[in-house]
Structure 1
Amino acid sequence: MNYYENIVILDAALEDTGIDAAEKRITDLIEKMQGEVLKHERWGRRKLSYEINKHEKGYYLFFVFKSPPTAIKSLEELYKVFDPVFKFMIIKLRKKEIIALQSSLQAMEAKAAEQAAPDVVTDDVKDSVGEAAVPSVPAETTEPVE
């Protein structure tokens, strides 16, 4: 399996339900072709740097996935006939980029697991001796101050 990045520009006039449907259709096709979507982001509506097919704005979707090479041909065929998509780009990642991607995915998973784990606080905090831990307070000195 190869790793790919995919940027898709949809018609900005689409409503949120249309964008959801387009995103689902793309992910379903990748999964149908024995691929796996590793990461997907919605970059939102943005102004294009130049006019494309009489569009000045577009809605950007970003996918990172792994799949067999045959899935790319199917994706390109979908994009060519799928009306909401007016521009797309699929890039095969190199080994160096894959290693960076895997480390960032592991960091994101660790952060998500850390946020999902509730903080456990108990009233009966024991120290190593078995007694309740008491914060140390410096004893008052009775020595005369000069």
Structure 2
Amino acid sequence: MRKYELVCVIQPDLDETAFNVVLEKVKGWISDSGGSVDKVDVWGRRKMAYIIKKHREGQYVLLNMTMNPAATSDLERNLRYQEPIIRHMLSVAE
């Protein structure tokens, strides 16, 4: 098991309920793959440096997690096909 950081930029126009549904779905994928979410830090709505998918702002979320390195490819594939997630970045925590 290895520690990872996942930063997601979620569409800014989602209401709180839809935002929480997306967040719970991501946490579910992590736990389904045998990993665990250690900490969730919601940074809130922030202006992005450039327009992505016609959005100037995004809701940023940082997830600190522990999971098997082999399961990261499945997680990234699921994140890529999730429409409310504008961008994501998965990195190894130090």
Output the CA distance in 1 between the equivalents of 2:71 and 2:87. Answer: 18
Stretch of structure 1 that moved more, 2-11 or 68-77: 68-77
Match of 1:74? 74
Output the CA distance in 2 between the equivalents of 1:75 and 1:11. Answer: 19
Cα shift at 1:55: 0.9
Match of 2:21? 21
For the residue of structure 2 that corresponds to 1:50, the secondary structure is: strand
Cα shift at 1:71: 2.1
Output the CA distance in 2 between the equivalents of 1:75 and 1:24. Answer: 14
Cα shift at 1:70: 2.3
Match of 1:64? 64
Identity, in percent, stands at 29
Output the CA distance in 2 between the equivalents of 1:39 and 1:47. Answer: 23
Output the CA distance in 1 between the equivalents of 2:19 and 2:38. Answer: 19
Structure 1 spans left out of the alignment, 5+ residues: 98-146
Detail structure 1 runs of 4+ shifted over 4 Å in the superposition. Answer: none
Cα shift at 1:52: 1.2
Bigger share in helix: 1
Match of 1:51? 51
Output the CA distance in 2 between the equivalents of 1:71 and 1:12. Answer: 28
For the residue of structure 1 that corresponds to 2:78, the secondary structure is: helix
Structure 2 spans left out of the alignment, 5+ residues: none
Bigger share in strand: 2
Output the CA distance in 2 between the equivalents of 1:89 and 1:19. Answer: 18
TM-score where L is the length of structure 1: 0.62
How does 1:86-101 map onto structure 2 within 5 Å? 86-93=86-93, 97=94
TM-score where L is the length of structure 2: 0.95
Match of 1:11? 11
**Given residue 91 of structure 1, which amino acid in structure 2 is its aligned partner?**
S
Output the CA distance in 2 between the equivalents of 1:27 and 1:70. Answer: 17
Output the CA distance in 2 between the equivalents of 1:71 and 1:21. Answer: 22
Greater RCO structure (CA 8 Å; 6+ sep): 2
